[in-house]
Amino acid sequence: MTDSTPTSETGARARPWYASALLAVVGVTLLLLAAWGYARLQSPYPFYGTAYQGVRATPLSGVAQGGRAYTLTPGVGGKTTALFFGFTHCANICPLTLSYLNKARQQLPAAERETFQVLFVSIDPARDTPERLGEYVSYFGSGIGLRIPEPALGEVARAYGVGYQKVDVKGAEYQMNHTTATYLIDAAGKLRLLWDYTQLPQVPRVVRDIEYVMEHP
């Protein structure tokens, strides 16, 4: 039987392609693990969410329920804010997100509960009036529903890395595709971490993140 393994020009056996691919995968995996470990070592607390390092939150302004003007100026007002971008015609992610965030708020000690707020920014200002937003947010508990008109909305969304797009649905009203992360801003105005939508059901772990950020602004 002959050996069909390819050889190099020097006569040495060449490494099979699948071996090279495996080594490449292992190398990338080790690099990712090292980066993850380094990020964890940088923080004295192992956040459940994804932590930011030294990022200042972007201010935003709009009209809230009751027609009142509202401005979030990070670092002013002394409140920790959970910020989420969504819309009231959302079928599941938006209502569930608001529900989980309000459950987390209710599990905070009374004193901390008063200095924590949920801010829901609509990415569908064409349909979401301040009145509708107010009713929507209050259904899940407490919070602020904010309408920001275009093009200001697009600028704010980009600042937080949020994407959104109108999608036509045959035989129904249009829907909106959008980023589903929740951003936590501390009382000093720093963007501290984000939770992916899939993390929010673990409410006790979200609460621990919030408490740590409130204790270490």
Could you say which DSSP state residue 91 is in?
S
Give the integer Cα–Cα distance in Å for 143 and 205: 21
Is the omega angle on the peptide bond into residue 16 within 30 degrees of 0, that is, cis?
no
Per-residue confidence (pLDDT) for residue 22, from 0 to 100:
47
Give the integer Cα–Cα distance in Å for 210 and 216: 10
pLDDT over threshold 90, residue 34: no
Give the integer Cα–Cα distance in Å for 70 and 51: 27
Q: Which residues pair with 146 in a beta bridge?
A: 64, 121
pLDDT over threshold 80, residue 33: no
pLDDT over threshold 90, residue 75: no
Q: How much is the average pLDDT of 92-100? A: 97
Per-residue confidence (pLDDT) for residue 136, from 0 to 100:
97
Per-residue confidence (pLDDT) for residue 35, from 0 to 100:
43
pLDDT over threshold 50, residue 143: yes
Q: How much is the average pLDDT of 57-73? A: 95
pLDDT over threshold 50, residue 149: yes
pLDDT over threshold 70, residue 163: yes
Per-residue confidence (pLDDT) for residue 28, from 0 to 100:
46
Per-residue confidence (pLDDT) for residue 13, from 0 to 100:
54
CA proximity to 118, closest of 183, 23, 162:
183
Report the SS3 class of residue 67.
Answer: helix
Per-residue confidence (pLDDT) for residue 128, from 0 to 100:
97
Per-residue confidence (pLDDT) for residue 170, from 0 to 100:
81
Give, for 36, the enclosing helix (H) or strand (E).
helix 17-42
Using CA atoms, how far residue 8 sits from 11, 14, 15, 34, in Å, is: 5, 6, 9, 34
Q: Which residues pair with 72 in a beta bridge?
A: 60
Give, for 159, the enclosing helix (H) or strand (E).
helix 152-159
